[in-house]
């Protein structure tokens, strides 16, 4: 038989403070995501401006498409493969490690709870459609895990943004 523990609000919990902390965490995550997405777009625009005659650089609207377009342009078969190797590796790492978190933060709903220790815990749920089927996502993070995820996101964002900045500078010197 499974025991069910009722959820009882902790006496003295300052929910406004908890919500402020969760929203600040989410805002910092979105800040680093936005910086990265801007770097991807700036890089695509630069590559478009300096591409060889007859070459094609896609400039699609959705950010996921722009990540794909950049990957094609700087990947092993891309027209900027020679200058884009380091940036391509950083792009792959960023996408592998951060895409799910980005989707959850941008499109998910968040429920906040407080553990007996007083630390917050969040449950992020989302739903999207992949291949005409519902794809439901769920992430549960306690406060220390959320802080670690933010630090990882910040590091990955800085690495990719710096690599893309270097790539943009290198194609100017063509």
- CA atoms 65, 87, 78, 47: torsion sign: positive
Domain ranges of the chain: 15-99+147-172
Say what percent of the chain tops pLDDT 70.
Answer: 93
Provide CB contacts within 8 A for 82, sequence distance 6+.
none
Model pTM score: 0.88
Higher model confidence: residue 127 or residue 144?
144
Whether the per-residue pLDDT at 151 is higher than 90: the answer is yes
Question: How many whole angstroms separate alpha carbon 88 and alpha carbon 94?
Answer: 10
Determine the average pLDDT of the residues in 74-101: 96
Give the sheet arrangement for strand 120-130, strand by strand. Answer: 109-114, 120-130, 133-142
Span 161-165, average pLDDT = 98
Confidence of residue 128 (pLDDT cuts 50, 70, 90): confident
Is residue 105 predicted with pLDDT exceeding 70?
Answer: yes
Helix pair 63-74, 81-107: axis angle to 10 deg: 160
């Amino acid at each position: 038989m499974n025991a069910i523990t009722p959820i009882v609000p902790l006496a003295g919990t300052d929910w406004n403070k908890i919500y402020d902390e969760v929203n600040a965490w989410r805002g910092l995550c979105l800040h680093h995501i936005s910086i990265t997405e801007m770097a991807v777009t700036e890089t695509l625009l630069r590559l478009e401006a300096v591409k060889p005659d007859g070459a094609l650089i896609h400039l699609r609207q959705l950010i996921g498409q722009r990540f794909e377009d950049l990957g094609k342009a700087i990947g092993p078969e891309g027209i900027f493969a020679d200058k884009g190797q380091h940036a391509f590796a950083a792009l792959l790492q960023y996408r592998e490690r951060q895409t799910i978190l980005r989707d959850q933060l941008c499109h998910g709903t968040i429920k906040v709870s407080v553990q007996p220790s007083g630390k917050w815990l969040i449950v992020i749920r989302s739903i999207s459609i992949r291949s005409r089927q519902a794809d439901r996502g769920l992430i549960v993070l306690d406060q220390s895990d959320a802080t670690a995820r933010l630090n990882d996101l910040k590091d990955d964002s800085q690495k990719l943004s710096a690599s893309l900045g270097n790539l943009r500078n290198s194609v100017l010197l063509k």
